[in-house]
Amino acid sequence: MSYALSTTLHTTFEDAVERTRKALADQGFGVLTEIDMKATLKAKLGEDIEDYLILGACNPPLAHRAVNADRQIGLLLPCNVAVRADTSGEKGTVIVDAMDPQIMVQVSDRPGMREIADEAAAKLRAAIDSL
């Protein structure tokens, strides 16, 4: 099973990030965390990588239901969405990967988790498809 819902965009990195934030918001996700991997790896290790941003996306009603079904599921929350410049493609190509919530079902067999994961996956898929 793949653990990512993905799409490829032909645009600037900044535009891809903006569009991803809007698509997530349109599906009820807020961005709780943001990790700039490019800046972090440069500052901490002196290493250069492509533009790479990890957005921690949360849909509060779904997160609430998931945590109520299994308190340890918080280890897999929020849903990470990575926006990254494609180093193997042509310039101006950006990949957006979202963690597939079906991973939660593989980890937790608690009652109701499949339905929550299905709903979260549908919303994230809709966000990715709208890009």
pLDDT tens digits along 69-104: 999 999 999 999 999 999 987 889 999 999 999 988
CA–centroid distance for 122 within its chain: 13
What is the per-residue pLDDT across 16-61, written as a single tens digit (0 to 9) for each?
999 999 999 999 999 999 999 999 999 999 999 999 999 999 999 9
Pairwise CA distance, residues 117 & 105, whole Å: 7
Pairwise CA distance, residues 51 & 13, whole Å: 7
pLDDT at 1 over 70: no
CA separation (Å) from 9 to 1, 16, 57, 129?
23, 7, 19, 11
What is the per-residue pLDDT across 113-130, written as a single tens digit (0 to 9) for each?
999 999 999 999 999 999
At 36, list the tokens: 């700039």
